[in-house]
Amino acid sequence: MCIRDRHWSQMQQEGVRTVQSVLETAICCATHDTDPRALRYNASSRTDAGVHAAGQVVTFQSRCDLYTAAEMCHALNSRLPEDMAVVTAEFVDDLGFDPRRWARGKWYRYLLHQREARSALRRRACWEVGTELDVGRMRAAAAVLLGRHDFTSFCGPHGAGGKDDLG
């Protein structure tokens, strides 16, 4: 799934347009499910306000058997706003599949736009930097992130080892 901006965040918040609420509405409309809570919506990660998400994996449960996986993709996209799109859909037989716990990794991309004139086309997708960047200093600062790191403090009580290689 691809998500552009204009959504406050991934998770449900009362009275606020979120990725989850917009997608649940489209799912309920396409599947004729009436209660979004019954969908058991589960996403691979959260998105914060103004963040673009590409490759977000979402699962939901429905008894609807009107569509093939490709037709479900089209049915959802016809009901989603222009800043969201379902790229592909698959049926999963394993009810134990958890997109957050089964994710193999996450990739973060930060875009800097460096020039005096702002970019009208990229204004929502990058950080405008009007001054010259010292790439050598940036590389030196980033070098401390490379290597093996212990991320167990970021894992839940049943999380994996939490040790990972960066770089």
Among all residues, which ones are annotated catalytic? Answer: 48
Q: Is 46 exposed, middle or buried (0-12, 13-18, 19+ CB in 10 A)?
A: middle
d(CA 158, CA 119): 45
Contacts of 45 (CB under 8 A, 6+ apart): 10, 53, 56, 100, 103, 106
Alpha-carbon dihedral 62, 68, 70, 71, rounded to 10 degrees: -80
d(CA 147, CA 37): 41
